[in-house]
Copies of this chain bind each other. A is one copy, B any other.
């Protein structure tokens, strides 16, 4: 199985109250230097390998019609080769023991 990730974010011009709530709380929590916070959705789809262009365009279609509201949201579709959560180089994992 390969993992295809669909990230859905509000368009830049759309107000993001959730992201603003997080950003306003940061100073109180002692976090400085973060100019902006945006919150969106991440979908991980397990797809049979090999991930053909045709399969990717189907996922793109799925994202456009079902996973994102393209009036107010942008989305991206990408294949995460190694199948681990949040894979890709340079991703520092984190979880409580």
Checking B25, B40, B56, B66 against A66 with a beta-carbon cut-off of 8 angstroms, the contacting residue is B25
Residues of B within 8 Å of A37, CB to CB, are 43-46
Residues of B within 8 Å of A68, CB to CB, are 94
Integer count of this chain's copies in the complex: 2
Report the nearest B residue to A64, measured CB to CB.
Answer: B94
Question: In whole Å, how far is A39's beta carbon from the nearest beta carbon of chain B?
Answer: 5
Distance between Cα atoms of A41 and B26 in the complex (Å) = 18
Q: Are B88 and A78 in contact (CB under 8 A)?
A: yes
Q: Are B33 and A48 in contact (CB under 8 A)?
A: yes
Report the nearest B residue to A52, measured CB to CB.
Answer: B33
Given the interface pairs A76-B93, A85-B74, A92-B77, the reply to whether A34 lies near B47 with Cβ below 8 Å is yes
